[in-house]
Structure 1
Amino acid sequence: MSRLDRFSSALFLAVLLSGCASTRTASTADEALMQPRSDVDAVYVGYVNAIAKQRGTEVMWVNPPKKRVSASVASAR
Structure 2
Amino acid sequence: MKAIPGIAVVSLLLIGLAGCTSAGMKSAYVAPAAVNGDAATETRMRPDAQYIAEVEWIARQRGVRVHWVNPPERRVLIASH
TM-score if structure 2 supplies the norm length? 0.38
Higher helix share: 1
Greater RCO structure (CA 8 Å; 6+ sep): 2
TM-score if structure 1 supplies the norm length? 0.39
Higher strand share: 2
Which of the two has higher C-alpha Rg? 2
